[in-house]
Structure 1
Amino acid sequence: MIDLQHVSKSFNGITVLDDISLKVQKGETIAILGSSGSGKTTLLNIILGLLQPDSGKIICDGRDITKESMKKRAFNIVFQDYALFPNLSVEKNIVYGLRNKKGLSSAKEVADLIELLYLSRHLKKSINQLSGGQKQRVALARTLVMKPRILLLDEPLSALDGVIKENIKNRIKEIVQQFQLTTFIVTHDPEEALTMSDKILVLDQGRIVQFDSPKNIIHHPSSAFAERFILQQLLIKRHNIFQLFGENDAG
């Protein structure tokens, strides 16, 4: 569905993305993983259409969309800070984008999504009355009612922890599966990448280090960087991660 071909981007003479090529199939969830400054958010913004690459192409369903506007691409993003309207209620935030696209989602579809995200009892509240997890769910609902062709999530769990984080993670996975959404998740957390994605794109200084399944990245890291960045950050949780992918010995 999405084919990035030799995409590069520089700012003020500094290369941020260097010859990025990858193919993503419809319905796949791709985690974009890397340290701060690795090019994760720049790549997300190029896919979204907020930025234009200096070189390379973006092909979607066989069509070159490299120069298409964000509006024409009909991809949707949930930003790290949620970008909700504080002066509107939860309900009005969710349906805001439908004002100019009446009929895109039916009243029943909107209601079903609100129910799926456990937001029914919060609809009349202002955004300032919500917790971080509730705001995250409102941002997801507002994006999903627009029926995006591709869903982009920028650090979706960074402000959450504990049970709330696990609940939102599971809810995102359920929604992506139910709606067969092609999804890109930007994260710096290896555990999020390993447990939420079909494939992981590991970036280092703007270059692809590895693009592979979570299982292969755990058991067959392609470089010292991939092994160090992922495994050494998972020392405490390492045993559970290896068990998840079928190994009894985290060795």
Structure 2
Amino acid sequence: MLKLQNIGKHYDKKVILENINLEIDTGEIVSLLGPSGSGKTTLLSIILGLTKADQGKIIFNDVDLSNVSMKERGFNIVFQDYALFPHINAYENIVYGVKNKKGLVSEKEIKEYIEFLELTPHLTKKIGELSGGQKQRVALARTLVTKPKILLLDEPLSALDGVIKESIKERIKSIAKEFKLTTILVTHDPEEALTLSDKILIINQGNISQFGTPYEIINQPSNGFVQEFILKQLQIKRQNIYHLFGEKYA
């Protein structure tokens, strides 16, 4: 379980995050959702350990990680631009982070991750030869082979569309379920959050507007901002929820 207790962050005199409190259970997919500048990317960076909070605690499995380095936390991230190396092939990208870490992952496990993400036919291709969805799967495989305790995703679907986007959504769901891997992702798209997540944290101006399941967000918005941000951005009415998300959200 990951717990955030009273997390706060300021830059100069500007409040970026204030009094962020939440608990995320093992294997859950949680979206950090909000408009640009709301603080969601900063919160992801604080969880990763890339940015240090000004106040509060980050507790993982009852251990306080607030002053633990990013490397020692054992979390890992897939960045929005994938951050793959163009001069080496897909397989070399996948194993790049573990080639000097003997014993972390076996060749059999690496093969299983590759097969799970259906990357076997693409291993010898350079990154420039891959489609957007294939690049995303390579980035996911490279992260999974490091055996992260938590998987962090920064706008994982923003560069994808159509069938490819839906395919990657299903991959992320499968990864969380198959490996019981807590997954936290940043998105600005309410539809992505509602269709992908077990729970959604909606942030506005550095504060939590609501934290709940997709059903709760749709049917029990905590305030006017949540209602407007979700429903207006989707440009739908409540009675049309069924057609997008299925009967349980109607």
Q: 1:79-117 deviations in whole A, cap 9, x for unaligned?
A: 000011111110000001111212212111111111111
DSSP-derived class of the 1:166 partner: helix
From 243, 246, 251, the counterpart of 2:246? 243
Structure 2 distance, partners of 1:242, 1:224, is 22
Aligned match of 2:37: 37
Q: 1:211-246 deviations in whole A, cap 9, x for unaligned?
A: 011101100000000011011122257442353425
* Structure 1 residue runs without a partner (length 5+): none
* Maintained 8 Å contact 1:89/1:123: yes
* Maintained 8 Å contact 2:133/2:164: yes
* Structure 2 residue runs without a partner (length 5+): none
The sequence identity of aligned pairs, in percent, is 59
Structure 1 residues 169 and 197: alpha-carbon distance in aligned structure 2, compared to 1, 3 A threshold: same
Aligned match of 1:86: 86
Structure 1 distance, partners of 2:218, 2:76, is 30
Aligned match of 1:135: 135
What is the count of residue pairs matched by the alignment? 247
1:12 CA drift (Å)? 2.1
Q: 1:241 is matched by which residue type in structure 2? A: L
Structure 2 distance, partners of 1:18, 1:98, is 36
Q: 1:59 is matched by which residue type in structure 2? A: I
Aligned match of 1:193: 193
Aligned match of 2:23: 23
Q: 1:109-140 deviations in whole A, cap 9, x for unaligned?
A: 11111111111111111111111111100000
Q: 1:159-215 deviations in whole A, cap 9, x for unaligned?
A: 000001101111111111000001101100111111111110000000000001110
TM-score, structure 1 as length reference = 0.95
Structure 1 distance, partners of 2:249, 2:10, is 41
Bigger mean CA deviation after superposition, 236-245 or 89-98: 236-245
- Are residue 119 (structure 1) and residue 100 (structure 2) matched? no
Aligned match of 1:203: 203
Structure 1 distance, partners of 2:245, 2:151, is 28
TM-score, structure 2 as length reference = 0.96
Q: 1:56-101 deviations in whole A, cap 9, x for unaligned?
A: 1111111111011000000000000001111111000000111121
DSSP-derived class of the 2:92 partner: helix
Aligned match of 2:7: 7
Structure 2 distance, partners of 1:242, 1:58, is 33
DSSP-derived class of the 2:222 partner: coil
